[in-house]
Amino acid sequence: MERICNKERIVPGLTVTAAAVTLVVLAAVAIGGYLWTPAAAYEQYSTNQADNCAACHGDFRASGYVSNSDGVAWAGGTSLHNGHRTDMLSGDCNVCHGAQRFPVLLASSDGGTGLAAISCNGCHGRAEPAAGGAVKAVGLRQHHYRAGVTQCVSCHTDSNPANFTTAPETVKPPYYFTPDAAHPDKPTDPCNGNGSESLVAPTRGLDNDGDLVYDATDTDCQVGVEDGPAAKLGLTLEGVQPNPSRGAVRVAFTLPSARPATLDLMDVTGRRVARQDVGALGAGRHSVEFAPGRALRAGVYLVRLIQGGAVVTAKAVVTE
């Protein structure tokens, strides 16, 4: 979420916060009247300027916000600001703001009632095992990277999924603990099973681990499925071979009987791309080519195997 490498003209008399100075000075080198800041970050959310986060997501305080992810309007015609402050955080402004109020820094604040002073990172960052447990917004950066917004990788190599493995979707951001009296409507479930991530936003919730698979459709959120009815029946799904795949998708699985069974292939929006009947193959291990009848676009897909009342799923990545 931090700001891409940028050149900023030095303006005489410009006043900045100590936090912003720290972020800039750490890597600043004066070159021809400019500050070259290769490690500078999107350290604040622009309000109505067409830069930083606002370049894609718009004015934070403008009413009638519509999600860039799926084009769905937020409930009640609210703004990003009121959706966060009023609805989810019950008016606790210090969660995101410092004493100066502006600018709003993405990883630093005065801290709300009972909440760490980490601003946006409280809901959009997570403790990452691959970073020694540090709270980082890697999932958000990888979500943008996979969606084609790759500028961050020039400063943050962890933006590229090939360089960093994020914690699974099930890992809670720091603010996702059980609601307290001060914040009864804040998010609590990263898999969005209770709808807390979709209080005012679209029902799909958040892609916390950055793989473009949301909430319940993410296999990370189906914890224990291997120990549930499917496993006891002997229904297993090994997944796609190889993964990532190019073009055709080959799926390996085991059926416990010759009862009707189907394989579904779904995209990241939950839309079914293809279905294939496989029950006639009978009991045993099978490997079939999942042929949707057309070339698959590069991206993340969900393979779902259904037999009777048992369901198992696996993630699949298709490359060009």
CA distance 286 to 67: 41
- Tell whether the model's pLDDT for residue 42 goes beyond 70: no
Q: Is the pTM of this model over 0.75?
A: no
- Tell whether the model's pLDDT for residue 62 goes beyond 70: yes
The structural domains of the chain, ordered by start, are 6-37 (no CATH), 42-212 (no CATH), 224-319 (2.60.40.1930)
pLDDT for the residue numbered 116: 92
pLDDT for the residue numbered 260: 86
Write out the two tokens for 226: 């291997």
Q: How confident is the model at residue 9 (pLDDT cuts 50, 70, 90)?
A: very low
Summarised one tens digit per residue, pLDDT across range 104-155 is 888 889 999 999 999 999 999 999 988 988 999 999 999 999 888 888 888 8
In this structure, what is the dihedral angle of CA atoms 156, 219, 180, 75, given to the nearest 10 degrees? 80
**Sign of the CA dihedral with 139 first, then 145, 147, and 149 last:** positive
Summarised one tens digit per residue, pLDDT across range 71-84 is 888 888 999 999 99
Mean pLDDT, all residues of the chain: 76
Q: Lowest mean pLDDT: which of 130-134, 215-219, 235-239, 293-297?
A: 293-297
pLDDT for the residue numbered 215: 84
Do residues 109 and 96 lie in contact, with contact meaning Cβ atoms separated by under 8 Å?
A: yes
pLDDT for the residue numbered 309: 62
Note every long-range contact of 287-290, with CB atoms under 8 Å and residues 24 or more positions apart, other chains counting.
287/241, 287/250, 287/251, 287/252, 287/253, 288/250, 288/251, 288/263, 289/248, 289/249, 289/250, 289/251, 290/248, 290/249, 290/250, 290/251, 290/263, 290/265
More confident residue, 31 or 118: 118
Summarised one tens digit per residue, pLDDT across range 254-304 is 998 888 888 888 876 667 788 889 999 998 899 998 766 566 778 888 888
Q: In what order do the strands lie in the sheet with 249-255?
A: 236-240, 249-255, 284-290
